[in-house]
Amino acid sequence: MFVKLFFVFCALTVTNVENKYRLKQVIILSRHNVRTPLANNLNEVSPKPWPHWKEKRGYLTSKGAYLEGVMGGYFSAWLKKEGLLRNVCPTEDIFYAYANAKQRTVVSAMSFIDKAFPNCNVKVHFKEESDPVFNPVIHNTTTVFKNIALREMKTRLKHLSLNNSLLFVENILDYKDSEQCKNKNECDLLNNKNKINYAVGCKPYITGPLKIGKSVIDAFIMSYYEGFSMKDVAWNSINDNKHWQLLMEISIGYHDIIFNTTLVAKDIAAPLIKYMSDIFINKEESPKITLLMGHDANIQTVLNSFNFKAYTLRNQFEKSPVGGKIVFQKWFDEDHKRDLLKINYVYQSTEQLRYGLNLTFEHPPEFTLLELKNCTADKNGFYIWDDFTSFLKSLL
């Protein structure tokens, strides 16, 4: 189904061939790896039997832990190659891990660490109570903000064109024979109404056909990554990449409405951006390597807030795939005696996720160079560090 691409170099260090650049610091903003589906009402939207999962709803799976460990091993090898890590257990001034308190994020961070630093007592920090850094909620309490935000969200919802995608989902589910249709008289994903739900202190969300489609697609893609037989992945109804792309348009559209309007994204991401900025700008004692383990909402709102150019992830269906990492790298240019920034999206392909493939320098994860609209990069994708920190300060 997929074309397997091999790279004979480490994607993150290709520009370091002549030892012109020295890696000084890294922040890894990550999404958790493969988990069980989040929806608790899947049986209501289809009469067909859903596959059985061993773990609780929304929990990282054993496969997800393994896959995140594979990423941890790869990053450890890269960071050692670049001299940022040594073959000893790192102290917290070298490596610091901070995760959201959900099981899937904490265990993802632990799995990364266990493979990156075997037999080392490296701690994952997290807050037991609600964590404002990772919590993707609305903060601004003003009516003006609410009105503008809702107007932008409703405009995006109005201009979504998903009829083919929703009809495909409806047919896969046998939706007209579902409990949702029989008991609630909600039988038409194309024409039933969507509603945007907005409240201060809460995560914005949508109810209606778009939410149903997003929830079932989440179950399909996680089943695929988990390695279920295709008869247990959308009941063998997904036959090629075009089908996946058709389905993912719903998920991408859903998240685009609630997370990717610039006003809302900046408000939601503000605590996380402040945390990251403190590491980059204000703290000389900051760890050399920081792992921040969160959710797709964190990835998407940070990407929007930083005003990145549009990007495409090769060999992936998702816009923010499980286990994917935004890797901010601070390099020192030995020739010009200045600090530089490079940003890559590092992630596992759908093939690497489904088949649990190992990652090495010869067979690395996928990577995409991310480009900032507000800063100017050189031909190798490097930004002047001071330009980046000036831009960061404008976000605070």
Hey, how many other C-beta atoms are within 10 angstroms of the C-beta on 165? 24
232/135 Cα distance (integer angstroms): 32
368/335 Cα distance (integer angstroms): 26
Show the beta-strand stretches assigned E in the chain.
21-31, 95-99, 124-125, 195-197, 205-207, 289-294, 325-333, 338-347, 366-369, 383-384
Q: Which of 218, 267, 296, 339 is catalytic?
A: 296
| Three-class SS state of 233 | coil
Hey, how many other C-beta atoms are within 10 angstroms of the C-beta on 287? 20
Q: What angle do CA 389, 339, 387 make, to 5 degrees?
A: 30
DSSP tally for the chain: helices H, then strands E: 12, 10
Angle between helix 385-395 and 262-277 (nearest 10): 120
Active site (annotated) includes residue 32: yes
| Three-class SS state of 326 | strand
Residues belonging to the active site: 32, 296
